[in-house]
Every structure is written in structure tokens, then in C-alpha cells.
Amino acid sequence: MPDTPEEPTVRITAPSRSSGSDDESYLRSGSPIQTPEYIVVVPVTDALLERPGINVRQFLRTAVALAADNDGRVLLVGIETVAGEAVLDTVREHVQTAQPTDGENTAVENIKQRQTQLAEMANVAQELDPDVSVNAVVRAVTDSTRRILDIVDGNNETVVLLLRGTGLDEGWLLNRSTIDALLAESECDVFVENMGTHGGENALYVPDVEEHTVASLAKSESESIESILLPVGTGPHAALAAEAARAVARASGASITVLHVISPTASAETRADGEDLLKFAAYILGSEVAVETELKEASDTTDTIVQEAKTYDFVSIGFPEQKSRLKQLVFGSVQETLSELRGTTVLMSRDSNRTMRSLYYRWKRGITSTEDDGDSRN
């Protein structure tokens, strides 16, 4: 049996009063001229750690899979929201002096507890794939949405993975939720996961280190993924959704079914375009995963996808540009979503470059086809 891994070092950070942001060195590595590193940023809220029925290991599996598929790393960012600048000053003093605070300070104690929890999460993520580097940091903030935007923007190789049901999808009064703000404003790729499997033996609860409940995280298991559905269309986020499906399939060994739905009265040209979409998605998925393609006739595209999704463990879809029932699979109420896809995890992908990724793959595919034609004539 291998020795228990050492607890990783988890930094505490707080934005400075002067610049509005602290040192972001934990996002960077190497020299300034080095190719930017692919980083999967995972905001970790107290709800993710303490709300019963959320499978943290299962969520970490997606983050690690995305990083592994892009030769990148995972950054767990513990978000600890504090009440105002006065409390932030106390946290800054604690960080700078590394001394215990005078008397009992709830904010500092909460942050220290987050350190322990983030270290445990980092160990679990590392166990999922020892080849993927995992770092963690606890960040004290007064505005969680703005600080997450500060973290993920400014590096075009950074992506963010958000989990519904952990407070990030909750807005107050007229304010947008954190997920809505990131989808609207972030300059990086955004992934939003809605896990269909809740509760049961895999529910994780890490409320108090002294009561040794952290052990439940280390001993937990995630539901296996054997089948993935990838619905594809002409939207600008389809290529990123295909990349996400490939990442999860490579990590889990699952097979992927690529689905495109056309009308029963579709023209021959539309049918041919549909076949081309399926071939394009299969090209992105590559030869390392098992892929099947299906061109299906149906009068209601959305209903067909929803019904098909119920028979799969995992669904990877591109961000729906228009309001539709597909959007409800990710952004609808938890009750509505679970009634539709109770046992299925849905991962939504929003491509920051929109059409650029698709154009790249089409260019690359065209070059490959040209080279293959040249070889066949020689």
C-alpha cells in the first residue's frame, strides 16, 4: 500500500486595498515567454463542501479529466466571503504575520478550516490522476463574483468549471448569479456542470475536521461513467462540447454517441450537412475513444435529445444560444432538472472564442484530408 500523500500547501490570499487584487502568481508558472499553461479553475464554495448530497469526488473527476486532456493542471480556489473591508484587514494581517489573531475570530477560523478541507480535496483530485498537478488556494473576498472574474480573466488558457447547486447559481433581487455573470462577462471558456446523481452513499459532507468527517471525502466513490451523449448542431460552442466529451471519455473509458437531429421532411442538402456535422464531431473526438454517430429524424429536436439523454450516464452539450428546454437542463430549477434527467450528469460548455475553435478544426481536418489524398496518389 502506498503511503498517505502529504497534505498540499494551501495558501490564503486577500485582495489588497490599493490594487483591488492580490498576487496572482499561483496562476502562473515558468518564464513570461513560455506558452501559457492550461489551468482548470474550480471555485469551491462552502456549499460545495458542506451541503449534503453533493458528490465532490464526482465533480473533481470532471476537472481532472479536462486538465488531463489538455496537459494542464487544476487550481482549486476556496471562496470565503467576508463581511466588509474591516474583516479583510484582519485576514490580511493574519496572512502577513502568520500569527494567531487576538481572541477568537470567526473569519480567520473559517478560512483555516477551508485550508484543511481544500488540502483534502487536492489530495483526492491528485489520486484521480497522479499525472495531473493540483494546487489549492483559499481566497477571502467581499464580492465572490467579481473576484472569480479577476482570477480567470487575463489568461486565454484558463478555463473555469462551475457546479450548480453550490450557491453560484443563486442571485439576489435584481443581481445576476455568479454563473450568469461568468457566462456573460468572462473572457475564458466556461463549463457548468449539473450532476444528476445526488445523495446516497456517495454524498460527501465535510463540515468539521475535529470530528474527523473529512474522512468521508477520501473514502468516497463516484458513479462510473460508461456512456456519453454528445448532441451536436451548428452552434458556436459545439466543438468545445466535443472536446469536453473526449476528455471525460478518455478519463473514464466511456463510449460516446454523437447525435444530430433533423426534421423528417429535411432536404437532401440538410441531411448531407447533418452527416458532415457528425463526421466533424467524430474528427474532434479522435481515435482514442469509442465513437458512434447517429442522424435521427424527429419533429421536436429538443424533446428527442432530452429523451435520449435519459439513457446515458453523462451528456456534454454546447451552450444554447437561445432560450430553450435544453437550457433548462443546465439552468432550470433543480427540481425541474432532476425530474427530467435524474441519473444523468449534464456538462454545458461555453466557448469564449465561439467560432474560432470550429474554424481551426475544419482547417486542420482539411489539411489532413489533403495529405491523405496526396499519399493515396503516390
Measured at the CA of 95, the angle between CA 44 and CA 167, to 5 degrees, comes to 20
Q: Which tens digits make up the pLDDT trace of 12-46?
A: 776 665 544 454 554 444 333 344 589 999 998 87
Identify the band that residue 201 occupies on the pLDDT scale cut at 50, 70 and 90: very low
Residues 345 and 193 sit within 8 Å (Cβ to Cβ): yes
Residue 10 has pLDDT above 50, yes or no: yes
3-state SS of 81-129 is ECCCHHHHHHHHHHHHHCCCCCCCCHHHHHHHHHHHHHHHHHHHHHHHC
Helix (H, G, I), strand (E, B) or coil at 143: coil
Nearest to 236 by CA among 170, 317, 298: 317
DSSP secondary structure string for all residues of 290-303 = -EEEEEEE-S-HHH
Distance CA 251, CA 68 (A): 8
Q: Cell match 468516497: residue?
A: 220
The pTM (predicted TM-score) of the whole model is 0.81
- pLDDT at residue 336 in the model: 45
Q: Which tens digits make up the pLDDT trace of 108-164?
A: 777 888 888 888 889 989 999 999 999 998 887 777 788 788 887 766 678 999 988
**Which span out of 21-30, 135-144, 169-178, 191-200 was modeled with the highest average pLDDT?**
135-144
Q: How far apart are the first and last CA of the chain?
A: 55
DSSP-H helix ranges across the chain: 46-50, 56-69, 85-97, 106-128, 144-152, 178-185, 215-219, 238-252, 268-285, 301-309, 325-331, 334-340, 355-377
Tell me, what amino acid is at 89? D
